[in-house]
Structure 1
Amino acid sequence: MPVPFVPPTERRLLGIGLAFAAYVMFTGIDSSAKWLGLVGIAAIQIVFLRYAVHLALVAAIHLPRHGRSLVRTGSLRLQSLRALTLLASTGCNFVAVQYLPLTVTGAIAFTVPFFVCALSVPMLGETVGWRRWTAIAVGFVGVLIIVRPGSDAFHPASLLCLVAAMSTALYMLLTRRVSAIDSAATSQFYAGIFATVLLLPLVVFFWSWPTTPDGWIAFFTVGIFGFLGHQLITVASGLAPASVLAPFSYFQIIFMALSSWLIFAQPPDVWLFLGAPIVIGSGLYIWLRERRLAKPEPPITAPH
């Protein structure tokens, strides 16, 4: 039976829709992590839960289909480095959300394109012109407006957000390299098992069980949201080019703002409205410039 033809436009619209759903899932990860922190769960346990549940779902879904090929990798070193950068990003982000509104952590996360652009010089040997360096500098001015260092509103956890963004940039650059030798399922498996095995000997000293129904819900959703988000963005990337999906990632700030306001009673302040458009605008300029220069498209992924 012939496979029905799906017009490219419709495939792209479906890809964009799935990407939007993925960004809702990514917002759910941070919201669950923040909620678990509020009910007394240690940050290291939250990170462990995110990857342990993720690993269990990856194994349950992909092992029956792929068997031993799921664990075969063309470069264990690259997969380990990639998993380490993702773990560092998640750890820093999960600690930061305990002290900062989701709108602030989300806005600072949009500095990832700046770090990707800057790190592509030493890691990939690419050339970055003065226009993109200027966009990076302007973007960080936007970050300074949001976090206001030196003021009473500044919290050191903002620095963790920047470390998380840089770690995510390294993760994306390494993902670009491993995607040429391993499947997405294999990469998801190694991201899950690396973090789970590394944290298991430590988490036993911090372990505690939720004592409320909402705590139990967040206990499981932090990992479920992570798995679903990565699955959705992987499928979306197969339906639409990264150059089409990339600008829509900035809509996640809307989901983060709604969660911060409605769930945690932390509405965005005026400084976010001033700084976030600068950060987003600079990121979009870098995207447009790289598209014009026809640079290789980075994978659409997430700092979770």
Structure 2
Amino acid sequence: MPPAFAPPEERRLLGIGLALASYLMFTGIDSSAKWLGLAGIPAVQVVFLRYVLHLGITAGINLPAMGTSLFRTASLKVQVLRAAMLLGATTCNFVAVRYLPLTVTGAIAFTMPLFICALSVPMLGETVGWRRWVAIAVGFVGVLIIVRPGTEAFHPAALLCLAAAVFSAFYFLLTRRMAARDSAATQQFYVGICATVVLAPLALPGWTWPSDPATWVAFFTVGLFGFIGHQLSTVALGYAPASVLAPFSYVQILFMAASSWLVFGQPPDIWLYLGAPIVIASGLYIWLRERKLAKPVTPVAEVR
């Protein structure tokens, strides 16, 4: 909980700083996953690592304090479905980063608010006006500019990025439904345990170990970054409201560009410079409309 004696402005600045740190951690997840993929580690094993390490840290920290209450949930069915959505998003994203620059996967990930806005109609019964429908359509024009379907530059892995954004949108909507019913620790626990149980039979046979020091580092950080990122994001919301933090999530595209260029030697191309601002502008417009209408603000880059 934020200290009561801190001025509101100071608390918000701390919240923004923690949120930016969480976006750096999320970039670390994708960077570690890409490094492991290029090193020949099977994709299912990379996804398993992300969740089994996350589960170990979550259980190790929360079990001593919470005991069996960590396992109690208001709806096991929703928690399992929520975990399945995040697992689908992570799997699609981790496969996509093997073939696409981080700048491309990151830019397409910013379509998540567009999908959330569209899916909130059938799932939550919300009303979406024509302005936001236009913003959704314009956002997907930006995606078309980035991936350029029908050209030699198009890679099918871009479709996995869009699938990851859809899974992420479902995950967020289910999280919104459970936010007031289960603790953050319980929700993180079920995400980790469900994915670990599902993936263990697929990942453990024929296990591949890293063969160099850098890959060993990525081997452990893919899960560590995930846990730290989600924890920082949760704490940040204790110091500043989501309406304040949401626009700063787009800073992650800068982190992704830096990692793509400096670590993997893949600088952004001209099409990303043209398409990404359109996607980001669409997401920001939806954020402004939802803020004006006093609706829950959509986070952008928290799902990994």
Query: TM-score scaled to structure 1, two decimals?
Result: 0.98
Aligned 8 A contact 1:103 1:256 in 2: yes
Q: Displacement of 1:8 after TM fit?
A: 1.1
1:176-195 equivalent positions in 2, closer than 5 A: 176-195=176-195
Aligned 8 A contact 2:249 2:299 in 1: no
Match in the other structure for 2:219: 219
Match in the other structure for 1:239: 239
The one-letter amino acid paired with 1:219 is: F
The one-letter amino acid paired with 2:217 is: I
Q: Displacement of 1:39 after TM fit?
A: 0.7
Match in the other structure for 1:139: 139
Q: Deviations over 1:82-101 (max 9, x none)?
A: 10000000000000000000
Provide the rounded CA distance (Å) in 2 between the counterparts of 1:297 and 1:268.
29
Q: 1:4 and 1:134, CA in 2 relative to 1: closer, same or farther beyond 3 A?
A: closer
Aligned 8 A contact 2:110 2:300 in 1: no
Which stretch shifts more, 3-12 or 210-219?
3-12
Aligned 8 A contact 2:96 2:160 in 1: yes
The one-letter amino acid paired with 1:205 is: P
Match in the other structure for 2:271: 271
Q: Deviations over 1:149-204 (max 9, x none)?
A: 00100000000000000100100000001111000000000000000011011112
Q: Which runs of 5+ in 2 are unaligned?
A: none
The one-letter amino acid paired with 1:25 is: M
Provide the rounded CA distance (Å) in 1 between the counterparts of 2:88 and 2:140.
21
The one-letter amino acid paired with 2:133 is: W
Provide the rounded CA distance (Å) in 2 between the counterparts of 1:39 and 1:278.
34
RMSD: 1.0
Q: Displacement of 1:207 after TM fit?
A: 1.7
Provide the rounded CA distance (Å) in 1 between the counterparts of 2:40 and 2:33.
11
Aligned 8 A contact 2:43 2:94 in 1: yes
Aligned 8 A contact 1:47 1:91 in 2: yes
1:161-172 equivalent positions in 2, closer than 5 A: 161-172=161-172
Aligned 8 A contact 1:233 1:300 in 2: no
The one-letter amino acid paired with 1:77 is: K
The one-letter amino acid paired with 1:236 is: A
Aligned 8 A contact 1:15 1:239 in 2: yes
Match in the other structure for 1:21: 21
Aligned 8 A contact 1:237 1:300 in 2: no
The one-letter amino acid paired with 1:287 is: W
Provide the rounded CA distance (Å) in 2 between the counterparts of 1:302 and 1:4.
27
Provide the rounded CA distance (Å) in 1 between the counterparts of 2:301 and 2:253.
16
The one-letter amino acid paired with 1:73 is: T
Which stretch shifts more, 45-54 or 236-245?
236-245
1:1-304 equivalent positions in 2, closer than 5 A: 5-298=5-298, 302-304=302-304
Name segments (4+ residues, structure 1) moved above 6 Å.
none
The one-letter amino acid paired with 2:154 is: F
Which stretch shifts more, 4-13 or 91-100?
4-13
Which stretch shifts more, 293-302 or 105-114?
293-302
Q: Displacement of 1:4 after TM fit?
A: 5.7
Q: 1:298 and 1:108, CA in 2 relative to 1: closer, same or farther beyond 3 A?
A: closer
Of all paired residues, the percent bearing the same amino acid is 72
How many residues matched?
302
Q: Which runs of 5+ in 1 are unaligned?
A: none
Provide the rounded CA distance (Å) in 2 between the counterparts of 1:81 and 1:250.
28
Q: Displacement of 1:297 after TM fit?
A: 3.4
Aligned 8 A contact 1:112 1:166 in 2: yes
Provide the rounded CA distance (Å) in 1 between the counterparts of 2:43 and 2:21.
26
The one-letter amino acid paired with 1:284 is: L
Aligned 8 A contact 2:113 2:300 in 1: no
Provide the rounded CA distance (Å) in 1 between the counterparts of 2:73 and 2:95.
31
Provide the rounded CA distance (Å) in 2 between the counterparts of 1:45 and 1:53.
12
Q: Displacement of 1:299 after TM fit?
A: 5.9
Provide the rounded CA distance (Å) in 1 between the counterparts of 2:259 and 2:6.
35
The one-letter amino acid paired with 2:295 is: K
Provide the rounded CA distance (Å) in 1 between the counterparts of 2:138 and 2:132.
10
Q: Displacement of 1:224 after TM fit?
A: 0.2
Q: Displacement of 1:208 after TM fit?
A: 0.4
